[in-house]
Structure 1
Amino acid sequence: MMKKKLLDGVVVLDLTRVLAGPYCGMLLADMGAVVYKIEVPGKGDDSRSFGPYVNGESAYYMNFNRGKIGCTLNLKKEEGKDIFKEMVKKADIVIENYRPGTMEKLGLGYDVLKEINPRLIYGAVSGFGHYGPYHNRAGYDIIGQAMGGLMSTTGWPGGEATRTGTPMGDVLGGLNLTIGILAALFHVRSTGIGEKVDVSLVDSVVSSMTNINLIYLAEGRIPERIGNRYESTYPYDSFKAKDNSVIIGAGNDKLYKNLCVLMGMPELADDPRFLTVKDRVQNHEAMKQIIETWTKQYTVEEITSMLNKEGIPGCPINSIDKVVIDPQIAGARNMFPQIEHPVAGLMRLTNNAIKFTESNADPVAPAPVLGQDNDLVFGKFLEKSNDEINALKEKSVI
């Protein structure tokens, strides 16, 4: 029997494009909300043109918009605005990721929409948020990573500041928007009062840098790029093995002592250079040389097997081809489920990381093709006649 979805009955109007906003809508849809993906007629979400492609369809778009009901609506036309206001009356949540002020220029800002539906939760994610001296600036993921400090601490000593391989600013922005919306949903159900959730990509990155920020706030020292090493504990790094590099995370005294025994050097635990976490961080270069003398004798597979047998965190540095066949990740945790798309056919997507015991948050439906559900949305949801829908199409409102 299919497990229930926790957000059954929650109605979301998704005006977002590309990644941060659609990621939030994706999570809400995976958890059971009815998410109406509202796109520009004839063009759609910008990410429909982003690769990679499957049978001409953007896999990028299909991943972040799975499970949504797709419709088109021109919000620059007065009739389109009126239709959107009709939809707001029946919705629980509106999400958008326009530059701040755009919705207000359209006459559809939070102050207007909350008068139509006082229980409405309005979620917005933007580069810098809806207030402050930079709020009108455009912002993408790379802006969030650069302005928020993440790039300055990513990479190797002496190297250039580096953007993370995945768009972490956007992902963090989408996650924070989802968290804020779920909190607001709880609040509105107990008070009847709606809320505006205002999330910034820059803030999201800054918030994620908690311990890194504290190096400067507590010590006055500007954090630098340190490769795979961790500022707060050691050994917690990558180490060269016979065939590649291996990750070892002996992050506390007990694990460190177990590692010393495993390496055949129990006396190392009493070495005054490495007695405490603070000592090991300070003397990380000497410690890395000692550990690599041991790791270079074995393959990555041999080392990880020994480490995990002793309960010491360790793993290979997987390339994506290894991740997608891993029995834990792809198998037991179902992180790459298959979905049948009407154009792309059977394809694998990246799942969300949320698992419930009594409920289901796995994706169950594909992303819509552009305008796929116009008749359903405007006919069933807004109860318009076929003649009215056809007139809207002729006037390019939908």
Structure 2
Amino acid sequence: MSVTDSARPPAGPLSDLLIIDLSRVLAGPYCTMVLSDLGARVIKVERPGIGDDARHIGPFKDGKSAYFTSINRGKQSIALDLKAPGDRAIFEALLETADVLVENYRPGTMEKLGYGWETLHARYPRLVYAAASGFGHTGPDTGKAAYDMVVQAMGGIMSVTGHPGGPPTRVGTSIGDITAGLFTVIGILSAVHDRAGAGAGRFVDVAMLDGQIAILENAIARYATSGEAPGPLGARHPSITPFAAYRCRDAHIVIAAGNDALFRSMCGALGLEKLPDNPRFLTNALRTENADTLATVMEAQLRQKPAAHWLAALDAAGVPCGPLQNVAEALAHPQVQARNMAIMTAFEDGTPLMAAGNPVKVSGYDDPATRPKAPALDEHRDTILKEFDLK
């Protein structure tokens, strides 16, 4: 299936929105990718001659960044020097029509350029201004630089990731950036909704560090009730048991028996019918207290047969479970394929590239198996200048 050369995203619920995207690398571009997948038009403003830093981050194919391509598909690119009068005039003309401005500079940068929130709000009162930064626009660390690894460390995520006694472990994806990007999407859509009544745009301030705190969920609850900072538990859930990865004859599987009824069903599927009546495992609290002992009993049985056998038995019993898959296996899984979560986009030269699909399915709108290609740097300058009568 060929990838369209169109620079516009497919129709979606956000097709009436024009996004001016000053962001680079991941948090901001991930936000605008989500908006684009939902139909918004995204004009990506890049530095002349250099572009988004992500263009220079691997993995590469024939000199083109797959990292950049995967999250900038379907956007338009124009290169503008925001210190040059002519390019500033183009940028300001784009803002006249835009619904949303997205940037992820360090706080203070846009003010130095003369494009801070107060200035732009006075001139473009309906413009929603969204800023994603490491530490936000308030607080003692507001001026500090940050990358994903920094906020993972500072936000507590790394302290509960990995195995007990092991070295500090980064979450395997850039969850600091991605979480900030998703919260920025939520903030933008909230501000656009609010504008329909208030008639004016809002300033959306999202910090990567705040996002890490916001997703600590159970870890904060445990600290708040015990007064002790929780540590890593490997693949085990801290307060639900059995809820972990368990070893079968040939591979690990995940079993998530989240209540007493599911635990009894699980035991029946595994041929451990007497286990629910064991005094150490009568309740979830007792099972969690004796999690290691329970895992030993379960794995002694699970190791007798291959993973496929146990998954089939657990599925038949209605027990939540799944195989432990690598990335290739996950992308090839029939459920992932059926949900159109492994789509095709393309590098700027049209070379196809697999990427993650849009997880938000909206009735009445297509969810195409292909998405428009990523833009070459400044590819759409002439088109944009002509459309906005700037040429």
TM-score class, shorter? over 0.9
Write out aligned runs for 1:287-326 (5 A): 287-326=294-333
Write out aligned runs for 1:252-263 (5 A): 252-263=259-270
* 1:207 to 2:214 alignment: yes
Note closer, same or farther for the CA distance 1:14–1:50 as it changes in structure 2 (3 Å cut): same
Once residues 361 and 59 of structure 1 are traced to their aligned partners in structure 2, the CA distance between those partners, rounded to angstroms, is 22
Tell me the secondary structure at the aligned position of residue 337 of structure 1: strand
Q: Shift of the alpha carbon at 1:360?
A: 3.7
Name the structure 2 match of 1:390.
none
Name the structure 2 match of 1:334.
340
Q: Report if aligned partners of 2:346, 2:374 keep a CA contact under 8 Å in 1.
A: no
* 1:270 to 2:238 alignment: no
Counterpart among 160, 167, 172 of residue 174 in structure 2:
167
Once residues 33 and 295 of structure 1 are traced to their aligned partners in structure 2, the CA distance between those partners, rounded to angstroms, is 49
Once residues 370 and 6 of structure 1 are traced to their aligned partners in structure 2, the CA distance between those partners, rounded to angstroms, is 28
Q: Report if aligned partners of 1:66, 1:365 keep a CA contact under 8 Å in 2.
A: yes
Q: Report if aligned partners of 1:154, 1:164 keep a CA contact under 8 Å in 2.
A: yes
Once residues 71 and 305 of structure 1 are traced to their aligned partners in structure 2, the CA distance between those partners, rounded to angstroms, is 53
Q: RMSD in angstroms over aligned alpha carbons?
A: 1.5
Q: Shift of the alpha carbon at 1:344?
A: 4.6
Counterpart among 353, 360, 364 of residue 358 in structure 1:
364
Q: Report if aligned partners of 1:94, 1:121 keep a CA contact under 8 Å in 2.
A: yes
Name the structure 2 match of 1:394.
none
Name the structure 1 match of 2:22.
15
* 1:176 to 2:183 alignment: yes
Gaps of 5+ in 1: 386-398
Residue identity opposite 2:357 in structure 1: N
- Greater Cα shift, 33-42 or 46-55: 46-55
Counterpart among 231, 237, 249 of residue 242 in structure 1:
249
Once residues 270 and 340 of structure 1 are traced to their aligned partners in structure 2, the CA distance between those partners, rounded to angstroms, is 57
TM-score, length-scaled by structure 2: 0.95
- Greater Cα shift, 314-323 or 87-96: 314-323
Once residues 113 and 60 of structure 2 are traced to their aligned partners in structure 1, the CA distance between those partners, rounded to angstroms, is 33
Residue identity opposite 1:320 in structure 2: V
Q: How many residue pairs get matched?
A: 382
Q: Report if aligned partners of 2:152, 2:176 keep a CA contact under 8 Å in 1.
A: yes
Q: Report if aligned partners of 1:31, 1:360 keep a CA contact under 8 Å in 2.
A: no
Residue identity opposite 1:359 in structure 2: Y
Show structure 1 runs of 4+ deviating over 4 A: none
Gaps of 5+ in 2: 1-8
Deviation string, structure 1 residues 161-217 (Cα, Å, up to 9, x no partner): 210111111110100000110111111112212101111111101100011111111
Q: Shift of the alpha carbon at 1:287?
A: 0.6
Name the structure 1 match of 2:4.
none
Name the structure 2 match of 1:393.
none
Once residues 239 and 9 of structure 1 are traced to their aligned partners in structure 2, the CA distance between those partners, rounded to angstroms, is 48
Q: Shift of the alpha carbon at 1:357?
A: 2.2
Name the structure 2 match of 1:232.
239
- Greater Cα shift, 102-111 or 271-280: 271-280
TM-score, length-scaled by structure 1: 0.93
Write out aligned runs for 1:33-182 (5 A): 33-182=40-189
Once residues 153 and 350 of structure 2 are traced to their aligned partners in structure 1, the CA distance between those partners, rounded to angstroms, is 35
Residue identity opposite 1:138 in structure 2: A
Residue identity opposite 1:282 in structure 2: E
Deviation string, structure 1 residues 80-120 (Cα, Å, up to 9, x no partner): 22322221111000000000110001110111111121111
- Greater Cα shift, 267-276 or 17-26: 267-276
Q: Report if aligned partners of 1:81, 1:108 keep a CA contact under 8 Å in 2.
A: no
Q: Shift of the alpha carbon at 1:261?
A: 1.3
Tell me the secondary structure at the aligned position of residue 197 of structure 1: strand
Q: Report if aligned partners of 2:11, 2:38 keep a CA contact under 8 Å in 1.
A: no
Name the structure 1 match of 2:5.
none
